[in-house]
Structure 1
Amino acid sequence: MRVITIGISGPSCSGKTTITRILQQLVKKTIVIYQDDFFKPDTDIPVDPETQLSNWDCPEALDFERLIQTIQYVQQHHVLPTDYHSNEVNNTHDGSDLVTPQQISEWKKKIHQNNNAGNVDDDTLWLIVDGFMLISDPQLYGLFDYRVFVTASYTTLKKRREDRQGYHTLEGYWVDPPGYFDAIVWPEFLRAHQHVPGPHHQQQQEKQNLDDDHDVILIDTDILSIPEAAETVISALWS
Structure 2
Amino acid sequence: ELFTMSSNSVTNGGKTTLAEKLKNMLPNCDIISQDDFFKPESEVETDEHGFKLYDVLDALYMDEMVTSIRNWIKSPASSGVVTEEPQNTCDNVKNVYILIVEGFLLYNYEPLNELWNRRYFLTLPYEECKRRRSTRVYQPADTPGYFDGHVWPMYLKYKNELEENANIQVDYLDGTKSQEELLSYVYSDIIQELNKLRE
Scaled by the length of structure 1, the TM-score of the pair is 0.72
- Residue 190 (structure 1) shift: 1.5
The answer for the alignment partner of 2:6 in structure 1 is 7
Is 1:174 the counterpart of 2:128? The answer is: no
Shift of 1:26: 0.5
Distance in 1 separating the partners of 2:18 and 2:186: 8
- Bigger helix share: 2
Residue 236 of structure 1 is aligned with which of 174, 189, 194?
Answer: 189
Equivalent residue runs for 1:124-163 within 5 Å: 124-163=96-135
Q: Which residue matches 1:220?
A: 174
Gaps of 5+ in 1: 82-104, 167-172, 197-207
Superposed structure 1 runs of 4+ greater than 2 Å apart: 208-213
Deviation string 1:38-93 (CA, Å, 9 cap, x unpaired) is 111221101112x1121111121111111111100000021449xxxxxxxxxxxx
SS in 2 for 1:155: helix
Alpha-carbon spacing, 1:210–1:226, altered in 2? closer, same or farther (3 Å):
farther
Determine whether 1:58 maps to 2:56.
Answer: yes
Output the CA distance in 2 between the equivalents of 1:45 and 1:12.
18
Q: TM-score, normalised by structure 2?
A: 0.85
Preserved CA contact (<8 Å) 1:136 1:193: no
Counterparts in 2 of 1:82-121, with a 5 A limit? 108-109=87-88, 111-112=89-90, 118=92, 120-121=93-94
Find the residue that maps to 2:122 and give its secondary structure.
Answer: strand
* Cα distance in 1, alignment partners of residues 191 and 99 from structure 2: 16
Alignment equivalent of 1:193, drawn from 159, 171, 174: 159
The 1:155–1:55 alpha-carbon spacing in structure 2 relative to 1, beyond 3 Å, is same
Identity within the alignment, %: 28
State how many pairs are aligned.
186
**Alignment RMSD (CA, Å):** 2.0
Distance in 2 separating the partners of 1:41 and 1:155 = 29
Equivalent position to 1:184, from 128, 150, 153? 150
Among residues 211, 214, 224, which one is paired with 2:166 in the alignment?
211
